[in-house]
Structure 1
Amino acid sequence: MAASSTDPRPLAARMRPQTLDAYVGQRHLLGKECPLQAMVQAGHLHSMILWGPPGSGKTTLAQLLAHTAGRHFQVLSAVNSGVREIRAAVSSAEAAQSLGQGTVLFIDEIHRFNKSQQDALLPYVEEGVVTLIGATTENPSFALINALLSRARVHVLKALTEEELGVVLDHTLADRVLGLGALAMEMSPEVRKGLLTAADGDARRLLNLLDLAVQLAPVREGKTQITAGIIAAASGHSWRRFDQGGEAFYDEISAFHKSLRGSDPDAALYWLARMLDGGADPLYLARRLVRMASEDVGLADPRALEMALAAKDAYAFLGSPEGELALAQATAYLASCPKSNRVYEAWNAVRAVVKGGGSAEVPLHLRNAPTALLKALDYGREYQYDHDYPDAIAPEQSYLPPSLRQAHFYEPSDRGLEIRIQERLRWINAHRQPVREKKPHA
């Protein structure tokens, strides 16, 4: 097999574009009349945070913007840098500034800087000693301090589409110097699509997979033959984008919950599978199902809570992968059954009243009277034992403190079992009589 290139750098590094025109993706930022394109045309470079998934081109874009603006480009990684490295970079920038050249300070993984390290950047960004470009895969509003965010514009980068990845792939295959050299290559349309799918929106992953596939592929009749099996071997068990506890994690949990609430079992099952594939703790997902059974289904179908708890127990008993089917069963059931958040709303309303309303006294007729003294004080004296009345309803009895006598918290929906609960409560309320408040003895 012919050598792919005499350049020792990884393929992804060799193929890094050298001009903005060659940059693939992020048309919402670099297209005509878009934010970064307008900035480039104006010849002004502002401090910014580039937020996007791995392989979306954050580092490359920072380099190209600095080059286009004629700025000196300095790189720090927040993984292995601190205040000392920041000060050294600033000293270099001040020296360049004295010679009339501006500096772009690029900080990769900037979300890994702690508060004091981020604070150390502020005066130099404020004074224009450096133009800061930070790259992050984490939500800047959570990862960065407000003072830094107020001095830097946030630009969101998107994962590359399969069409955009195809452009990167074709350019690499056509480049005989930096790409794969003089290799003759066979790749069917199906294998090509499989490669693009395995890249999952990540240009770096695409090129790394291609590079490894070329090394694994046999050469027959002078051609490197890349098959679906070669792509699978190069990919290994390549999890989809999912960072436990990070932005993708909470986005997918949100999508899972909202799909279930929206009664879409197909979508709910998809997001469940995505999270399990990404390494989410199955018992965490089981706990979410239990919560959703009460919050979004409630008394419209009380069996939902039973199903969710049973799925949790089944997974704890079976483990993966067998127990995952129980989670899928509960997911499909919860997504398909009628929805009601009326218990959830009632509970929130009650908690708000309790928290803000002080300690309302228990009405005398509801109090326990285990001693003669308490009986003499009329504790429980006028309590009406409900089972002594027709339909087990004491018609003139109230159970809330006097200050909350007119309060109403739970209103059943007109879905599922709550239709019958609603009818029952309306019938009960129609048979209750207004209660006159009894004055306690002096």
Structure 2
Amino acid sequence: MFKGFLSWLRMPEGPELHLASLFVNRMCAGLVFTGAVEKSEVNKNPEVPFCCDAYTIRAQSRGKEVILTLTPFKNDGKRKVGKHQSQQPMDVVFRFGMSGFFRFTTEADLPKHAHLRFYTAESPRRVLSFEDTRRFGSWQANGTWQKDRGPCVMFEYEKFRENVLSNLSDKAFDKPICEALLNQKYFNGIGNYLRAEILFRLQIPPFVKARTVLEGIEPKNEDKKEIKKTTDTARKKGVKVETPDLLSLCHTVPLEVVKLGENGYKPAKAEYSVLQAWMQCYSVDGMKSLSDHNGRTIWFKGDPGPMVPKGAKSRKNKWKVQKDHDYTDSKKAKKTYTESIALEKPAKKKDNTKVKKESATSKAQSGSKRQKKDTKSVSTEPADENTKTKKQGKRSSKVPPRTRANKIKGQQVEELIKTKRNPITCRESATKAKLQRRSSGARRGRSR
């Protein structure tokens, strides 16, 4: 399920990258790595110039980025240090693209798409690898957090909130709110499925101007868990309710995914059923979908809003749960049955053609035997299949003389040829011809 699910669902977002960092820290705790960092030949990302006899690995995430810190052991004076040995820690920044994630395996079970590898010092060796099937992911040696990315929506909430509300004059907020939420300068960690879930919970149309949605939010909100007082549909009745604002949900909704833990994010085991069950809007049956101005699909419910792109088309739900696991097998069986019928049809046509030819030949034979006799009546008794087979086997090499009976038979043969495309008519004509042969044979027996 993972390859199909992740390939179209979204690029891994803030929660997935944070869970990936937790995975690295758990698997690499207490382990010593050694040697050079190895890159696959097919990957176009740069080499990581790090080589050390002994080093450790630690990970941390921020929005849609993960940093692996490679820290060499301090030299105790007993061990010689080579010329190419790294002495200083190195930060390698990863961006996962559409299908990147970390995997920890034995050297014998190294994945096919493991494009960057870190080997342990034990025997047999194990490997921490960055796996990326589509190769859209990237890494940067001696890198830092991207300057164009804003504070993390999950772990730098106060800075994130201040960054958005103090820059509402930016032209980025002239766009629809669904497109503004993908701007990593302000919403670092929010992606395609998270924006759909956030807007759905607040019942905000996706194609409403972002500034219009954000201007009503209070600028001061020190407490992460604080929610502002607003009125909803109950305003008509004069009842006020407390609901979180959009920036608050940009913080809490990703944390809900993080709380799912490995049950929600298992790329190595291709398991996403828990995350699928958690989603209320994204690719859920009954929800609507449209392409935004960047070609990304936004899922929503109700009115899309006034800023819908011209010619925007709805996209079908690609995420379908297979309730019946035998559906594919039954579908294949049905296809095989259809193919078998198609193969039998040409054979039937050939058989019918053969019957027609044999019927025409048998008529000519019966005409030669009845040169002096004129048959006027035809028996209506059904033909015997055994008799039919025996008489069809006899063929005459002589051409019958031109008689009145033969002329009548010749006309019947021409009619059979004209109707050769209609197998039902051919069979009826062939049956009449066989009945005539039997009737003529009975008359010859009485004359004797």
TM-score, length of structure 2 as denominator length: 0.25
Question: 1 or 2, which has the higher helix percentage?
Answer: 1
Which structure: greater strand fraction?
Answer: 2
TM-score, reference length from structure 1: 0.25
